[in-house]
Structure 1
Amino acid sequence: MQIKAAVLRQSGDQPRPYQENAPLEIASLDLAPPRPGELLVRIDAAGLCHSDLSVINGDRPRPMPMALGHEAAGTVLALGDPDETQFAVGDRVVLVFLPSCGECVACQSGEGYLCAVAAAANGEGRLMRGGRRLSECGHDVHHHLGVSAFATHAVIDKRSAVRVDADIPPETAALFGCAVLTGVGAVMNSAQVRPGESVRVYGLGGVGLAALLGALASGAQPVTAIDPSPEKRALALALGAAMAVAPDEAPTLPVPDVVIETVGKAEVLAQAYASARRGGRIVTVGLPNPAARLDISALSLVADGKTLMGSYMGASIPSRDIPRYVALWRAGRLPVERLLTSISVLADINALLDNLADGSAIRQIIVP
């Protein structure tokens, strides 16, 4: 079938404004039918994330051309296997940017978010079962993180989908596939925040604000935040943060038990590490440029008893955690819909990238 998708043909050093230079081209692509173990999904809503921008600017090298987008919700239109029992036509699904093979050492250890098989497929721009289902004039177009959600339709491995109730608005459901998995997971799975512990969040994009919501849902007190944007700080306060300050005001905040860093810059991670109390835990979910290096006191790891850990996809098991987070949303404890900045059409995507790059948006949703 023919679909519309936002295709990146060259990454790195993309000049701004993106609205004028249009690094993403809305192209007509051929989409092959799903194979056994795969699903054809209509994309109902897709969110823009800094990970998409990292591919465009070259911080996350990927093979080109590539159809971008990895945070989305959709509806199952066709099954690659007529005997499929896990999914049915008409199911609403949240798409997940890292499936798990279930067989490698990480998966067998309960750490599917570190699945080497899925990571290799994502790095090569293919699906888990091999090859690509997207093409243009007979030439392959690569998949972004097994999803390629900035499109009208996608073929995905069924391990990249989690079924959710159909009454969840698609623009809300999409957020559970990346921002919520990563931010809330960093708090609940990686840091394992306990009631009464203090939490500080660096960066108030979609992931950072999701982490803030996760900390509040975990009973953390106080929850504080740092971001240069007055608008984002105001939202953090409205969501329940005790304090939200600009970076130069960080010394005014109480020393935290747990720090969540979501900015993706090595210098900010160093600040986050220094800010934690002795014996504190620092969790980073940001994705810096691969060449960036972290400079901290090696002695402090022992002398101050600090724990520094990375958290990929919030150390989440999507099939377990998305239903948990949806239940918290239904209970009013994770009001993730308040992270939505706008809902736009696919043709507006390059202008939306400018908003993402300059920090004026939290989560922008595309409805193809």
Structure 2
Amino acid sequence: MVEQLEQGTIKCHAAVAWEAGKPLVIEEIEVQPPRAGEVRIKILYCSICHSDSYTLSGNDYAYRFPMILGHEASGIVESVGPGVTRVKPGDHVIPLYISECKECAFCLSGLTNLCLALNDTQYVGVLADGTSRFTCKGQTIYHFMGISGFSEYTVTSEYSVAKIDEDAPMDKACLIGCCIPTGYGAALNTAKVHKGSTCAVFGCGALGLSVIQGAKACGASKIFAIDINPQKFDMAVKFGATETINPLDTPNENIQDIICSKTLGGVDYSFDTSGGNVSVMKSALESTHSFGGVSVIISLADAGKKVEIDPRTLIGKKWTGCAFGGERGSNLNNYVRLYKKGELKIDEYITKSIKLEEINNGFDDLKNGVSVREIIIL
């Protein structure tokens, strides 16, 4: 039950991560009203992403506990603080974990989708003024990725919201907040996959499926989908993979050697979406050819993990990373419109919808590979 308190504070429910490695706890929290340049959002839907699980594990040491996780969300603007001009109450929005101020040197460069506006605060769990809008039992609760979507209400910077069409299905639009543009955009914007090219996608979870979908849209002629879980292959083919490979089927051969043997010495583009396995990152690089091959790292490795390669491996190749598929928030409504035209798959990602009280089961399902995406109804 949501309760409005004096001075605009709202009482509502959220899944609180009190400490790393422990189950989330459904708590009644207080959400303060938005301050200057901020937006308070009524979250409608939020899915569970590997990045949430990664941070909850404690491997991402930048964030502070206790916090409210969740970043793949959709909702409606409930109120705005002084000076906000980009959105108004009632607007349908997708919160952004990569801000877009449109004023900093990065935003103005045209060379990157990264933004400097919230760099010093977002990744330590506070808003731009250095404080949190969440409290629970008298204790400060920190923000996650500037979003904190596992709460019925949240507060973000106005730089961290993307307005979308009001007829967008919000239970689908939440996936445009992370996994779909992150993979699709990696093929489209970062790698710039060209028509008739060959691609290898390492990992067939939600990110891998998004890369496959993006590579197909770019006109790739051959897309290898690689995973050690063959149950994911039917979905990969549905999204556009032309061949599936399970490395466990040939334990005496390196996967990169297999891919090179099936192509002209390697693929044009490879993508690591394996979930942070540094040996897979290396295999992805080595599966590209040496006359202009491009390998893109999308996964997050555990803190302290290193990839060791022979520098000669890089001759003639490009090895790069990407964030949010190189997309800006101002472009997200294009994904909404592609979906509405039937040119972008979203429904197929959704394994099931769950209640907030079932969130820990949802994390277990994701970890055990029995779901692609579970959507929390808030």
1:355 aligns with 2:356: no
CA distance in 2, matches of 1:147, 1:125: 10
The residue number in structure 1 matching 2:289 is 277
CA shift at 1:296, angstroms? 1.4
Per-residue displacement from partner, 1:6-50 (whole Å, max 9, x unpaired)?
Answer: 111111xx3xxxxxxx62111111100011221111111101111
Among candidates 325, 332, 339, match of residue 314 of structure 1: 325
CA distance in 1, matches of 2:15, 2:113: 26
Report the count of equivalent residues: 355
1:6 aligns with 2:44: no
CA shift at 1:289, angstroms? 0.7
1:257 aligns with 2:257: no
1:336 aligns with 2:340: no
CA distance in 2, matches of 1:260, 1:169: 29
More deviation in 2-11 or 323-332?
323-332
The residue number in structure 1 matching 2:252 is none
Give the secondary-structure state (helix, strand or coil) at the position aligned to 1:72.
strand
The residue number in structure 2 matching 1:367 is 377
CA shift at 1:84, angstroms? 4.1
Give me the TM-score of the superposition, normalised by structure 1.
Answer: 0.92
Q: Which amino acid aligns with 1:201?
A: V
Give the secondary-structure state (helix, strand or coil) at the position aligned to 1:2.
strand
Per-residue displacement from partner, 1:261-311 (whole Å, max 9, x unpaired)?
Answer: 111211110111111122210001100012111011201212xx0100010
The residue number in structure 1 matching 2:78 is 77
Per-residue displacement from partner, 1:62-109 (whole Å, max 9, x unpaired)?
Answer: 11110110110001111213x644212211111111213444432332
Q: Give structure 2 stretches of 5+ with no counterpart.
A: 1-9, 250-254
Q: 1:285 to 1:186 in 2, by over 3 A?
A: same
CA shift at 1:134, angstroms? 0.5
CA distance in 1, matches of 2:112, 2:78: 27
Give the secondary-structure state (helix, strand or coil) at the position aligned to 2:145.
coil
Q: What RMSD, in angstroms, separates the aligned Cα atoms of the two structures?
A: 1.7
CA distance in 1, matches of 2:234, 2:185: 23
Give the secondary-structure state (helix, strand or coil) at the position aligned to 1:78.
strand
The residue number in structure 2 matching 1:268 is 280
Q: Which amino acid aligns with 1:342?
A: K
Give the secondary-structure state (helix, strand or coil) at the position aligned to 2:123.
helix
Q: 1:117 to 1:158 in 2, by over 3 A?
A: closer
Among candidates 276, 291, 294, match of residue 307 of structure 2: 294
Q: Which amino acid aligns with 1:3?
A: C
Give the secondary-structure state (helix, strand or coil) at the position aligned to 1:143.
coil
More deviation in 191-200 or 130-139?
130-139
Q: Give structure 1 stretches of 5+ with no counterpart.
A: 15-21
CA shift at 1:129, angstroms? 4.1
Q: 1:247 to 1:122 in 2, by over 3 A?
A: farther
CA distance in 1, matches of 2:224, 2:111: 29
CA distance in 1, matches of 2:65, 2:111: 29
> How high is the sequence identity, in percent, across the aligned residues?
33
Give the secondary-structure state (helix, strand or coil) at the position aligned to 1:260.
strand
CA distance in 1, matches of 2:180, 2:35: 29
CA shift at 1:112, angstroms? 5.7
Task: Decide whether the 8 Å contact of 1:217 with 1:334 is kept in 2.
Answer: no
CA distance in 1, matches of 2:287, 2:195: 20
Q: Which amino acid aligns with 2:211?
A: A
Q: Which amino acid aligns with 1:215?
A: A
Q: Which amino acid aligns with 1:364?
A: E
Task: Decide whether the 8 Å contact of 2:12 with 2:29 is kept in 1.
Answer: yes
Q: Which amino acid aligns with 1:282?
A: S
Q: Which amino acid aligns with 2:311?
A: A
CA shift at 1:116, angstroms? 3.9
